Every structure is written in C-alpha cells, then in structure tokens.
Structure 1
Amino acid sequence: MGSPEESRVARILLPQLKLDELLEELQARLDAARGTRDRVHGLLEAVLSVGRELDLEQVLHGIVEAAAVLVDAEYAALGVITPDGKALSAFHTIGVTEERIAEIGTYPEGHGILGELIRHPEPLRLAKISQHSSSYGFPAHHPPMNSFLGVPIRVRDQVFGNLYLTEKRGGAQFDEEDESVLSTLAVAAGVAIDNARLYEESRLRERWLQANAEITHSLMSSGARTDVLALIAERAGEITGSALAAVALPMEGTGSLAVLSEALTNIARHARAGRADVALETDGREVRLTVTDNGVGIPAEGRRSGLLNMEERARQLGGELHRTTPRDGGTRLVWRVPVTRK
C-alpha cells in the first residue's frame, strides 16, 4: 500500500492521462475529418473539371490526371477497350516520359494485369503486381511498378475502359478509401465521356448537313460534273479524317457493278474462300471484269442461278462469261462486254 500522498498523486495523474488520451483521439479524428473533407473537395473539383470539357481526348486526359492526384499515384493510365471487349484500342497515360514510352515501344494491348481487369471488370487492388497470377512482368525499359489499383469505367452500362493506377507515393499501398474515391471518379468519368461523344456526334451531323447543303447548291447551280464530284470527295475526306477519298462511278451501259455484286455474293455464300481479287479493265473496245477466289470451286449444281444471271447479262450486251479453275484451286470468272458507242 502506498502512502496517502502517493494515492493523492495517482488520483490526479489518472484523470490527466485519460484526458491526454482523449485529446489525442480527438485530434486524430479531427485530422482524419480534415483529410476526408479535403479529399471530398478534391473529388468534387475533379468531377466538375472533367464534366466541363467536351472534347473527348481532353476528357480522357483530364480523367487520368485527376485519378493520379486523388489517390496520390505516381503513374496513371486509362485504357480504352475495343468494341469486342477483348483488348485495348487506346492507352492514355501520365507519369511516364515520352522518351521512356519510345524506348518501351508499343502501348499495352491488354495482357497481364491489364487484361485481368478487362476480363473481370471489377475494382482490383494489389500490394504487389508481381504476386498476382495474371502478372507476367514488364517489357524492357518499363519503370518498376508494385502497388496497383484498377477500376472500370462504364458508359451507359457498357464498359468503356479501365483506370489503372500504380505506385502510391511514399511506398504506401492503395487502401479501401482510395478504391472508393477512384470508383466515384469512374462514375463521373462515364457521364463525361458519354457527353463528349454525344457532342462529337452532334458536331459530325452538323458538318454532314453543311456539306450536303454545299453540294446541293453546287448541283443546283449547274456546276461542272467533275467539280461536283471533286467537292463530294473533298468534303467526305475532311469530315471522316481520311487520307484519301474518291467517288467510284459505274461504267455506263455495262451493268458491271451489278455483275460484280453477283459474283461477290456467290463467293460469300458458297465458295468458303479466304480471299477474292477483283480487276476491272477496259481498252476502249471492251470492258473486262475478272473475279478470282481461292475457295472450293464451282460444284456441279452450285452457284448456278448467280452464274446464269451473269451469263444472261453478258449476252444481252453482246459479250460473254468465261469460267476457269486456276492452277492452285478456286474459281476465276472473266466477264467481258463491248463498250457501247454513243
């Protein structure tokens, strides 16, 4: 038993110790609340930021940047999934320099851990990438990556792509709160992507309508035929972003396009061919259409109706249809008719 003085001191210290513990706990909760408040504020800012942009490429880049900041990741990427849902068609990334990207080579196609998220579009959090069964390493020159957090982005209930975050700063691991924050951002990202795509579609429709009005005006003003055709090709190339645009014209009076359609339909339905070659030639005296496939050839009773139609069309125009079998198999059709003089 202690002295009365010791007992008095103990009674004083015990409440003091409990008060200190309470104050420490309160301070910890205040710090956590402050951190959560700041994080929620950052998330709201990120949502508003990506929602304001209407250019799809800018939207995707903004989503990647926001994701990296929100979960304090050194590397972030957004992989866009192909329409068949089996691979990546595009890859937007930050954290890796352009020089390093050039050294690595081609962008990922969706194997390993990236493919795991494609096959199973659910949040995935790993302390060490290499320990997952789907991991098979990185290509040469790739920076080392350990911690990983991935979440899918859905647009109208369809998986558009995935967010990939690696290397949480300070050597820490991504936690449940990181996953929750990133999943919330992914929902907002899906809405922003949908809006951007709708905006691009509306702009595209507007450009086609403008081109249609311009071409109609050119036709109504009795412009030269070649000028109108050139305008059609030019506007189509501009709107589609094509390197080359051309207008294919049927040869008048021969029906060669109808014959070609018949030949290709026969091949598609019956030949089981992996390839078809088409050549359309004229020497000024006759038009010659040659269609060659590498299929099973012409059965005794097969493809008769289509061939009869082609033969009949050739006879009507004073021409003929020849059928042969190339040395390496398949079928070759040569349809030739004289050029009509006007």
Structure 2
Amino acid sequence: MEADRDAALHAVSAAVLAVTRHLSVHEVFQVIVRAAAQLLDARYAALGVPDDEGSFAEFVVEGVSDEEWNRIGPLPRQHGLLAVMLREDKVQRLADVRRAPAFEGWPTAHPVLRDFIGVPIRDGDDTLGIIFLANKRQPGGFTDDDEERLILFAAHAAIALTNARLYERNRELTVIEERARLARELHDAVAQKLFSLRLTAAAALAAADPRSELERVQTLAKEALVELREVIFELRPAELAGDGLAESLRKHVQVLDRVWGAGRGRRTAVRFEGEELTLPPATEAVVFRIAQEALYNALRHGDPCTVTVRLEPGLLEIRDDGVGFDPAEASRDGLGLASMRERAESVGGVLTISSSSSGTVVRLEVPA
C-alpha cells in the first residue's frame, strides 16, 4: 500500500512538471491542486498565491463546483489561518480546523472543513503560495505519512510554478520584442513610402496638369500596400513560439467561430481538426499565415455556413461551403493568392486551390 502511494506521488509530481511547458500558470495551479487532492484522498484542496495588497493573486480550489464558488463570494483575504501559513514556514496539520486559535470563520455558503493540512510552497526564502487540503475521505484525518507526502509534493509544485512563471514571462517578452520589431519594420519599410506619397499628392494639387502626379500617387500607394503586407506576413506570430502551430491555429479558429457573423443575421461555424506536429519555425509561420489568409478570404468573400481547417503531417487544408470564385479572376482582384503561393514556394511547399459554386478548398502541402 505504502509503495503504491509513493509511486503515485512521484508519478503525479512528474506529470505536473511535464505539463508545465504547455499550460498557463493558472492551469498548472489547477493540475497541482487536483493532483494533491488525489494523492492524499482529500475531498477539498486549494492553492493560494498571495499578492501585495493583502489578498490573493490566484486562488484555485478542487472539490467546489462553479455554482458553489460563486455563492461563496470574493476571494479570501490574507487573514486567520491563511495569514499564519504565509507568515510561518511550517506545516499546519489539524484534527479540526474550526478549533484552531487563528480560525476566523468562513462565508455562509462555504463548505464545512474539519481535518486539515496545509504546507507553504517555497522557492528558497520566497513563499510562492500555500497548498492545503481538508476532509480526508478515510476516517482518522491526515497522518504523518500524508504530511511527508505533501511536503515532498509542495517541493515539486514549487519547481513547476517557477518554471511556468518563467515560461509565461518569456512569452510576454516575445510579444514585446515582436511588437518592437513590427514598429521598426513599419517605420523603415513603409513610413518613407508614405512620406513620398504625401509629397507627391501635394505636388499634384499644385500642378496645372495633375494627371502624371496622380498616377505617381497611385503607384506609390500600391507599393506601400505591398510593402505593408510583406512586413506583416514576414513577422512570425508570437503565439507560435509559445503554443505551437496546432494550438495557435485552434485558438485563432475559436475566436473566428465566436465572432464571425455576429450582427449579420447568420453565424458561420469555423472548426479546427488536427493535432500538434513539429515543423521548422519558418514553415510554421508560412502555414499559419496562409491559413489566416485563406480563412479571411473564405469568411469575407465566400459567405459560407461552415469553414473547416484541417492540419496533419505535411498538409494544411481549409475547406468551406461558400459561393466559390474563379481563382484566375481572384488573383487580379487582390485576394492575396499570388502571395500565398509565393509563401508556400519559399518553404518548398505547394499550394493548390479548387473552387466551385458549392465551395472552396485550399490545400497547402509542405515537407513534413
């Protein structure tokens, strides 16, 4: 029995560490709390991360439904037993938490807690948070073995939380760097062109025969538009570095599914099918951008009821049931098809587009 419990502890801890790279900090909290409750066979578990204002920046619970949580009310403050646990670097194990000197009660809708065990989650001298469990399902309350397991589990949780925070911070820095790069690219590649456009337009207003100057304005405007599109499409989406191609596409599709067609009388269903796969960063960026362009074209011009994005090794497919179009005509109308093909060729891919009155299929084949 003891060997099974110890094996379960290490398996759960390993799972927490394994998922850290793929989940947000809040999601890692949820995994930790759920795993701790399973490990000690407790009905309730919670993890709180203090803020600098006397409350908690995060407070995640297990064993309480969303409805119950809403009835309980605002997040707890750093008072009572929670304050003691944050202030003192020691385990709190109680046969009945209601009899503890620091106990100060709880809201009316709060579940009744009896036997209790809590451990601070520490990183060196810093207290990252506290994890506590209550109401062990087996009679007799929490034991010395439970305390030992929870202390070891808290040490693993500290590593997981630290890694998750570093991971999210790195993602935030990536977004900031991407924005800075975008600003530089826009300034260098487009701002000068727009300045020339402004001067030429001013010259056209002052000219006796402005036709040649207006033609120059038109040319500059087209060049500025082309350069702007190139800048935007060359920037690798920041979310790809953090979430990966499949998850980035899934999130993009979910947003479109929620918002497209709102206020238009008929909503378009946008769906994603596929699992994560590994591609070179340049290829991921091309696949993502072509998917964006194809989705935009389908939703804006095809008037479909359903659009499905399918991703599998070596293949991206965007299929819609819209009105279709003539690809030859569309290339001249500015739907970005030539740019999509050029992007596909830049990574050794092949883009094919078939369309009829019953819908359109965009297929991108890339080296898997």
TM-score interval, normalised by the smaller of the two chains: 0.5 to 0.7
Q: For residue 200 of structure 1, report the CA deviation from its aligned partner.
A: 1.5
> Could you say which residue in structure 2 is the equivalent of 1:49?
15
Q: How many angstroms apart in 2 are the aligned matches of 1:118 and 1:81?
A: 8
Amino acid at match of 1:72: D
Contact kept? 1:155, 1:193, Cα under 8 Å? no
> Could you say which residue in structure 2 is the equivalent of 1:206?
174
Q: How many angstroms apart in 2 are the aligned matches of 1:115 and 1:200?
A: 27
Q: How many angstroms apart in 1 are the aligned matches of 2:139 and 2:107?
A: 22
Q: For residue 206 of structure 1, report the CA deviation from its aligned partner.
A: 1.8
Q: For residue 87 of structure 1, report the CA deviation from its aligned partner.
A: 3.9
Amino acid at match of 1:133: P
**Structure 1, residues 112-143: CA drift from partner, whole Å, max 9, x if none?**
22222112131110000111111122211111
> Could you say which residue in structure 1 is the equivalent of 2:47?
78
Q: For residue 170 of structure 1, report the CA deviation from its aligned partner.
A: 3.0
Contact kept? 1:148, 1:174, Cα under 8 Å? yes
Q: For residue 83 of structure 1, report the CA deviation from its aligned partner.
A: 4.1
> Could you say which residue in structure 2 is the equivalent of 1:122?
90
Q: For residue 221 of structure 1, report the CA deviation from its aligned partner.
A: 1.9
Q: How many angstroms apart in 1 are the aligned matches of 2:146 and 2:184?
A: 56
Amino acid at match of 2:161: I
1:60 maps onto 2:25 in alignment: no
> Could you say which residue in structure 2 is the equivalent of 1:221?
189
2:5 paired residue among 16, 39, 43: 39
Contact kept? 1:89, 1:109, Cα under 8 Å? no
Amino acid at match of 1:42: A
> Could you say which residue in structure 2 is the equivalent of 1:154?
122
Q: For residue 107 of structure 1, report the CA deviation from its aligned partner.
A: 1.8
Q: How many angstroms apart in 1 are the aligned matches of 2:160 and 2:87?
A: 24
Query: Which entry has the higher C-alpha Rg, 1 or 2?
Result: 1
Structure 1 residue ranges (4+ consecutive) displaced by more than 3 angstroms after TM superposition? none
Query: How many aligned positions are there?
Result: 196
Name whichever of 170-179 and 65-74 sits farther off. Answer: 170-179
For normalisation by structure 2, the TM-score amounts to 0.50
Amino acid at match of 1:157: D
> Could you say which residue in structure 2 is the equivalent of 1:138?
106
1:106 maps onto 2:64 in alignment: no
Q: How many angstroms apart in 2 are the aligned matches of 1:89 and 1:202?
A: 20
Q: How many angstroms apart in 2 are the aligned matches of 1:58 and 1:193?
A: 10
> Could you say which residue in structure 2 is the equivalent of 1:69?
38
Q: How many angstroms apart in 2 are the aligned matches of 1:143 and 1:203?
A: 38
Secondary structure, counterpart of 1:199 in structure 2: helix
Identify if the C-alpha distance between structure 1 residues 136 and 142 changes in structure 2 by more than 3 Å, giving closer, same or farther. Answer: same
Amino acid at match of 2:102: S
Gaps of 5+ in 2: 196-223, 229-237, 240-368
Q: How many angstroms apart in 1 are the aligned matches of 2:17 and 2:67?
A: 31
Q: How many angstroms apart in 2 are the aligned matches of 1:65 and 1:128?
A: 22
In the TM superposition, 1:162-177 aligns within 5 A as 162-177=130-145
- Give me the CA root mean square deviation: 2.5
Contact kept? 1:103, 1:141, Cα under 8 Å? yes
Q: How many angstroms apart in 2 are the aligned matches of 1:212 and 1:220?
A: 12
**Structure 1, residues 308-340: CA drift from partner, whole Å, max 9, x if none?**
xxxxxxxxxxxxxxxxxxxxxxxxxxxxxxxxx
For normalisation by structure 1, the TM-score amounts to 0.54
Secondary structure, counterpart of 2:138 in structure 1: helix
